[in-house]
Structure 1
């Protein structure tokens, strides 16, 4: 092998010239893989090396901004020589339904501000919902229902049916669609509830973006909290007794399940094409028992009856 004829001293001098002319580029980005549920995510640790590099620049407050321009103010907490996103971080997590196995990419914009990209467990970036105010309030932690536009969900008129058992509601344009849903539910072996309920089929918007599920507006007004409530914490109960807390948001023209919905949907194993019946069993707690007719059950019942 031919030895290099370059002088080591010359190399060092050239490096000094390069550094003097161009400077050293400091890292501007870091990533975090979420390994804790929302309920335990009170704060998020900033990597030590990153915090050390910008220790003289970072203030006590930071602004997190997503691609749509929405921002969340969070405090920076120094604890045991570590730096954390603290107050406001959990609201950010809840607003975008960030949960286990989500991947977040932070890019430092200067002045203690960060741009954030959010990726769900499928390795795809989420669909960000727009909030006209461009800021996330602690009271909201959600998207205002009448401002939401799911890419795959058409806003429909609710229908209300009085049955021999309970009063049923659905997210359908006509009562025949309500009856069609209930026919599939009964065919899958689920009895009509005896108490107030609403029924809806699961569409891709409720699982892909992971932000919300449209709820029957009349059902929400009649059975989910008082008429003056804008937000209400409801409890969804599965057939095996497991429970999830989900925030219900009621607007003038729309009602939705927001924060907590996607956690329920994933842990219960919902799929596009499933039909869910939400039966209110305890009014004072806003507890809804969820009966699920799986798409596979519906298809099998349809084949057997053909």
Structure 2
């Protein structure tokens, strides 16, 4: 009887050192979440531990992470960890396994809540498509030029057709540019009278995660999951919060629970979020009502 290849793979993986984490919509940047199991670290050789930790996904992307130690456990430093969380849009109860391959190199397998493994990156690089278009454009231009030089053109009639198509293409590009300019003017008018902002009244569910208004998302939130820094209006503290981008909604997830607890935010509080930098917000609550009026004026 032939053995199942998946079963053989799992059996082989079990022989290697590994641990897992569940990425719930909580504080994914906390030391507890970044901790490496004590029993796991006990079994890692001192020679391996001298290397920097590298996390590699199934599709080839990798992240370098520094490791530190407190009196109780080893943990991954925020910078590399937060980048890993942000790039993979984690925070929706994903199950992630970390398998040690030696020299602190880890292969990660990411699974949806329903158990289906994620085999392609959630956030597609934005530069790749434009690069492909450029190459295609260059090759087509070379082919046309070659035809003209060798005299292998199909005649004057085809040349007229090509000229007509080129003219139509220019016209369509002008229309697209015009529509973009109009949209940008509309957005600038919205933001002309003050800093971009949105208002929220805190509900019970908002203490766990916060849904961001769609109108604000369309104008000011990146198209991929990003770490935002949210500052207290008094300037005495700030929090790193994952802005999780989904098809149907965008929310503040990892780190938001900690912010709500430490700010603190309570049910019924009216909050204003002001965009002070592309990935930084100022949070003003109802508790500072007089200050809110002065800032708005």
TM-score by length of 2: 0.41
The structure with higher relative contact order (CA 8 Å, sep 6+) is: 2
